[in-house]
Structures are given as C-alpha cells and as structure tokens.
Amino acid sequence: MKRLLLAILALIILVPAAILGYQILHEPGSDIPSAPVADAAAQVARGAYLARLGDCMACHTARGGEPYAGGRAIATPFGNIYGPNLTPHAQAGIGEWRADDFWRAMHNGKSKNGEFLYPAFPYTNFTRMTRADTDAIFAYLRTLAPVNQPNRAHELRFPYNQRLLLAGWRTLYFNPGQYVAESTKAAEWNRGAYLVQGVGHCSACHTSRTTLGGIQEKFDLAGSLIPVQNWYAPALTSDTEAGLGNWEAQHIVDLLKTGVSMRGTASGPMAEVVGQSLQYLSDADASAIAGYLKSLPKTAAPPKTQAIASAADSELVLKLGARIYEKHCVDCHGASGQGHPPAYPPLAGNHALAMHSAVNPIRMVLNGGYPPNTEGNPRPYGMPPFAHELTDAEVAAVVSYMRNAWGHRAGLVSPVEVGRYRGTPLY
C-alpha cells in the first residue's frame, strides 16, 4: 500500500513537472530564420496591411489613447487582461525586441523572456502565419513613434494569474505550426484559408470555447457567445444560423469591405472590425476569404431556445410584439420584413434573427444598430436605440415577434433576458 501511495505521489509531482518542462523547452519553428529583404519599404507596407487586417489596434490601443501604446482592458471570464505596448519604446514597448523575439511570440506564444503569453492574445491563430509575414508586421511596428506608456499588470483571479499553469492549457489547446496549403485546392482558396485561420483569427470569436477558454474544435467557425462583449458571433458554417453557404460571394465581399450588403449589416463588435480592419482588404483577399467561407461544410446549428410560455400567453406576447413592430419598425423594415437593402437590412429570411441565441436582436433593439463608416459606405444609415422608450417586456415581445414572423420559428424571449443586457456597453 505504501509503495502504491508513493507511486501515485510521484506521478502527481512528475507529470506536471514533465508537462511544464516540455512546454518551456518545446519551441517548434524556432530554427526558421528571417528571409533576406530586398525592399525594406515594401516589407513595411506589407506589415502595415497585415497589422490592419489582424485588427491589432483593437486590443493594443486604449480608447482615446496613442495607437499601439496598449492599455485597453480585455474583459475575460477570468479577469481583465490589458493589451501591451507595441511601440518601439525601449522600456515601455518592444524597442529592445528582435525579429526572432516577435516570431517567438506570434508562433509559439512566448514573450521575449520566455514567459507563456495568455491566449487572449490569439497566438493559437497567429502560429499559422509565415515567418515572412510576422517579420513584416514587426518591421512595421518598428516604424511607429515610441510611446512611453508602461504596460498595466493583468487583473486575473487566482489561480489564473499563475502563468506557469498555462503549460497545462497549452498542452490541451495549443499546437503550434504554420498553415499548410491543401494541394487539392486552388491558390485563391488556400489564400482565403490562410487569412481566416491565421492573421484574421476569425475562430477567436466564431468558435465556441471550453470553460478554460480553449477552442472547442479548431477553426470550426460554429458560433459562440462572446463573453468579452456580450454579443453572439454566429456560426459561419450553418445556413440555419448565419452561415454563408447560400450567400452570393459578392454579398460577402460587400459586407467585409463596406459593412452592408443585400443580405445583412455588420453591427456591434463586427462593425468595429469592418471599420478598423476589413474594409482595407484588397479586392483579391476579400474574394479569397469569401470563397473560403462559402466552401466550409455545413454543420448542425445549436438547438433553438424553447418557448417560455403557454400557447395562450405566447399569442398575447406575439400580438403585443406585432403592435410594437408596426409602430416603430415597419417604416424601415417593411410590413413583410423585406427591408430596403443595403441601407435597411431585410428581416424576413434573415437567419441571424432566429438563431438559438437572441442576444443580438435584443441588443439591436436596446442599443440601436450602427454600421461602420467605410469608404464604400461613407454615410451609413443607423437604427436608433429603443432602450429609453420600451420596457423589458416590450423589447422581449417585439424580438419574439420578429423571431416568429415571416416563416421564422424560434423561441420566445423573456423580459429577464432583456434586462440582462440593458445598460451594458455597446461593445
């Protein structure tokens, strides 16, 4: 018995130690050198394009702060993480970093000093990028004006504030490695896959996560509630949600580059992504992304929420919702929900409206909907907020009505669910 207990104790000590040692020493790709650069200006321009495509400013720029100087709080279920300073300041930023250090962070999720980086920084996606592309981003960051703004310490609860525990997380959820082109696919498809899976890090929002924050199934794009921002990122692989398989490729391109299309409008966090990042896609890259997204295999949508009331009560809720829709919504979206696209998106046949999660239409009614200001849509039409005018019960009624009109069949919304999002920031 004593030997058995000693053996168990040895396993308890040795297995975590082995995992920690492996994760500290394991750095695949560390022998990949920087390629010689014939045109430094072209490399910097490419880095600027990729940094914009990755929307690096979204996490590394505080609202109203200096670009890339860090300080923006990223709320997670484990506490706040603050984006670090990426300017070339010697002490506060990455001024003393080398290209190898930056490659290490992007490809292996480790800082210059070897510390494990928290996966709020999506190195799980960036690891797919080539050395040449990460070098280009680093070259661009080196051209920024240095900003003396010290990094803020993360505010994570115990035990999540213990970085060494990330060794276990990495063992479960992180497999570093560059994107490998599929030989059976065209070059454009592979380009789209590379951008979506890598620098675009679309799965960071559009894929569900475990309770420890790990991607459920890598790059499946099957939809997820974003706890950081309290919006639902719909499945891109299911046409019963907001999947893009039955969209025309040009409509996907329009949404990515302008924020509006004949099929829908970007709002909430996605509006910020389009406005700060995706509108600057080259036509070729936008087409490549659209083609890749359209090719994704369909997946089963999450189950729809169930009605929360009796048939009689449901009828009363839907009748109230119809009256509210007639008063506040019909002028823009039409009696038949046909809308006037692209300015006023259609509601009939809009799968995003009848998803299993009703959080997005709830937030649209409460907070309004504002497409981004883009070069292709410089004067976007916005939807006014109704939080000040409608009670929780009325918002629940009109959202329930839209989720069950024009052929939609989805669960009713509860006033309690509406109250959960009233007063929360837009994003």
Per-residue pLDDT tens digits for 82-139: 999 999 999 999 999 999 999 999 999 999 999 999 999 999 999 999 999 999 999 9
Architecture of the domain spanning 311-421 = Orthogonal Bundle (1.10)
Enclosing H/E stretch for 74? strand 73-76
Per-residue pLDDT tens over the stretch 27-55? 888 889 998 999 999 999 999 999 999 99
Flag whether pLDDT at 398 surpasses 80.
Answer: yes
187-295 folds as Cytochrome Bc1 Complex; Chain D, domain 2 (1.10.760)
Q: What is the rounded distance in angstroms from the CA atom of residue 344 to the CA atom of residue 330? A: 11
For 261-283, b where at least 16 C-beta lie within 10 A, e where not — what string?
Answer: bebbbbbbbbbbbbbbbbbbbee
Q: Please tell me the distance from the alpha carbon of residue 225 to that of residue 359, in angstroms, as a whole number.
A: 9
Q: Tens digits of per-residue pLDDT, 239-272?
A: 656 667 778 899 999 999 999 998 888 888 899 9
Give me the residue label for tokens 């939807």: 383
Our measurement of the distance from residue 314's CA atom to the centroid of its chain's CA atoms, rounded to an integer in Å, reads 34
**pLDDT exceeds cutoff 70 at 228:** no
Closest by CA position to 364, among listed 338, 331, 402, 337: 402
Q: Are strands 79-82 and 155-156 parallel, antiparallel or unpaired?
A: antiparallel
> Which sequence spans correspond to the domains of the chain?
32-159, 187-295, 311-421
pLDDT in tens, 318-365: 999 999 999 999 999 999 999 988 888 889 988 778 888 889 999 999
Domains 187-295 and 311-421 share a fold: yes
pLDDT of residue 238 exceeding 70, the answer is no
Residue 152, exposed/middle/buried by CB under 10 A (0-12, 13-18, 19+)?
A: middle
